[in-house]
Amino acid sequence: MIKFKACGRCEGDVYFNADRRGVDVYCLQCGSRRFFTHDDMRDLTAQKVTDAQATDDIQEAA
Ligand SMILES: [Zn+2]
């Protein structure tokens, strides 16, 4: 599923890819990527996704 203009960083189009572990949220424009577990998703709002993407990619440094 793609949500248009939902990226908190660049307002690009965001791709949601759900699998067994959770949901991968990936911006097609800037490459910002976040993963939410199903536990996270239970009370996840669009605002939380936006906030998570707006933060720097510290998690991806490793
Ligand atoms: Zn983006």
Task: Report how far ligand 1's centroid is from the alpha carbon of 10 (Å).
Answer: 4
Task: Report how far ligand 1's centroid is from the alpha carbon of 53 (Å).
Answer: 8
Q: Is a pLDDT exceeding 60 seen at residue 60?
A: no
Residue pLDDT, tens place only, 23-58: 999 999 999 998 989 888 788 787 887 888 777 665
Is the model's pTM score more than 0.75? no
Specify the amino acid at residue 27: C
Task: Report how far ligand 1's centroid is from the alpha carbon of 52 (Å).
Answer: 11
Q: Which two tokens stand for residue 8?
A: 């908190």
* Parallel/antiparallel/unpaired status of strands 22-27 and 14-18: antiparallel
Task: Report how far ligand 1's centroid is from the alpha carbon of 14 (Å).
Answer: 7
